[in-house]
Amino acid sequence: MPSLTDQQSLAIPAGQPYFHYRDSELFVEEVSLAALASQLGTPLYVYSKAALQTAWDAYAQAAKGHQVLVCYGMKANSNLAILQQFARFGSGFDIVSGGELKRVIKAGGNPGKVVFSGVGKEVWEMELALEAGVKCFNVESVPELRRLSDVATRLSKVAPVSLRVNPDVDAQTHPYISTGLKENKFGIAIESALDAYRLAKELPGLNVVGVDCHIGSQITEVSPYLDALDKLLSLIAQLKAEGIELHHLDLGGGLGIRYDDETPLAPGILLDAVFKKLADKGLELELVLEPGRSLVGNAGVLVTEVQYLKHTEDKDFAIVDAGMNDLMRPALYEAWHGVLPIKPRSAQARVYDVVGPVCESADWLAKSRCLAVQEGDLLAIESAGAYGFVMAGHYNSRPRAAEVLVDGKNWHLIRARESFDDLIRGERLLD
């Protein structure tokens, strides 16, 4: 069985230095996770402000000396306090809905640094974005292009547009988070892009300002980005020959993080390669990036309490109070999340499946993990800062968890735990 020293050195991913053991207890920065759980209950999402700052600084340093706008892909984690931190860092925002735009504004973000992506923008969302003055609409189809033209013309506005081009590049990631293949729903096929730009140039109420591409998420190699970039550079040359001059190039997001044994791609490695290609072509375009997971994923954990230990002939189960409604990724993607005991024991370990209380066999958080645990123990589910709470729901009438942001020795409750009244708000009984 591993000793506590082994757990300290091996269990916590290198991407999470702000989560550490002190006197045989897991802390986030200077705050005890056990103390937070005792005061606020579980399940509980806990984020590190210092981890957010460090992740942001990696992009800022890599972009130094170049014209780069980093737009946080806020679908990864859209808590207002998290958005507020990124706004204070100077971040722009990548949004995919009108609700996300309202969150940016509420959190103090600058709409002029917002790029509006998404395949299904509705009229009211276009109107809201035009009135707010977003930096750019990333248009994903010709019908959307025509609708945006109609809406902008009716409002006597000019919509800045960038066409999201689908380059048919394999991002070598999970099929559910691959977005740059021709069979994906996203973007305009690279073969059709030139005609779409010609149309955009002629339609009233539109101003063509850029080209956009996003090929997927949890990418750990530079080659898919460069393959996509080569296709975009060829398109940019064709557009220039037709008198269509662009102001920015948006390469999307998708940089991966360490969940298990991955080796993440550092922002600097990607950007150095991109800057070189742009320089070789003599292009002076603003570069827009849309990182999400890589800014918040390893900044958070989900704290959960062991309710029961169930031993069967075939399996041992650690049944916890967090379920698939709290963290959907394992059920949806069969995703790996590390599991750390908050107060490790020196007892004999068993191999457990860590499962939740939801009435589904898909309700598991981790499989085949070696743990020394007892009922009432606390566990930290790692790498839960991205696509955790934002994907949470109320299945089995379970209230959503609270969220906390830790800043050194201080912590802030940034979302209260939901009550039963929150669950049924808006519902009505019949007379």
On whether both 149 and 182 belong to a single domain, the answer is yes
Rounded to the nearest 10°, the torsion over CA 111, 117, 123, 125 is: -40
Residue ranges for the known binding site for pyridoxal 5'-phosphate are 254, 290-293, 387
Q: End of a domain among 291, 324, 356?
A: 291
The reported pTM is: 0.93
The C-alpha atoms of residue 116 and residue 94 are separated, in whole angstroms, by 6
Report, as residue numbers or ranges, the catalytic residues.
359
What's the structural domain count of the chain?
A: 2
The reply to whether 310 and 352 lie within a common domain is yes
In whole angstroms, how far apart are CA 193 and each of 140, 200, 227?
A: 10, 10, 17
pLDDT digits (tens, 9 = 90+) for 321-363: 999 999 999 999 999 999 999 999 988 899 999 999 999 999 9
Q: What percent of the chain clears pLDDT 70, i.e. is strictly above it?
A: 93
Residue 169, C-beta contacts closer than 8 angstroms, at least 6 positions apart? 180, 181, 215, 224, 227, 228, 231
Average pLDDT over residues 203-227: 92
Q: Identify whether 343 is part of a domain.
A: yes
Given a contact cutoff of 8 angstroms between Cβ atoms, the answer to whether 193 and 163 are in contact is yes
What's the farthest any 2 CA atoms get from each other in the chain? Answer: 72
Q: Cis omega before residue 43 (within 30°)?
A: yes
CATH number at residue 211: 3.20.20.10
- Note the pLDDT of residue 215: 87
- What are the tens digits of pLDDT across the range 83-121? 999 999 999 999 999 999 999 999 999 999 999 999 999
DSSP 418: P
Q: Which residues are part of a known binding site for substrate? A: 293, 329, 333, 360, 387
The pLDDT value recorded for residue 106 is 98
255 and 316 share a domain? no
Task: Quote the domain boundaries for residue 172.
Answer: 117-291
Q: Per mean pLDDT, which range of 17-21, 47-51, 288-292, 391-395 is the poorest? A: 17-21
In the chain, what percentage of residues exceed pLDDT 90? 86
Mean pLDDT for 301-319 is: 97
| pLDDT band at 16; cut points 50, 70, 90 | low
Segment (H or E) for 276? helix 267-280
What is the tens place of the pLDDT at every residue in 161-203?
A: 999 998 877 655 545 444 444 556 678 999 999 999 999 999 9
Task: Report H helices in 91-245.
Answer: 98-106, 123-132, 142-154, 193-202, 223-241
Residue 280, classed as helix, strand or coil, is helix
DSSP code, position 291: -
**Same domain assignment for residues 284 and 403:** no
**Is the domain of 233 the same as that of 303?**
no
Nearest residue to 371 via CA among 334, 326, 330, 316: 316
Mean of pLDDT over the chain: 92
Identify whether residues 347 and 282 lie together within a single domain: no
CA distance 233 to 280: 11
Identity (one letter) of the amino acid at 18? Y
Q: Identify the pLDDT of residue 7.
A: 38
pLDDT over 70 (residue 135): yes
Binned at pLDDT 50, 70 and 90, residue 1 comes out as very low
Question: pLDDT at position 168, please?
Answer: 79
Q: Are 246 and 312 in the same domain?
A: no
Give a yes or no: residue 68 inside a domain: no
| Position 102 in a domain | no
Find all residues with CB under 8 Å of 160, minimum gap 6, and list them: 134, 135, 136, 137, 207, 209
Both 198 and 347 in one domain: the answer is no
| Residue 338, domain member (yes or no) | yes
Q: Quick check: is 231 in a domain?
A: yes
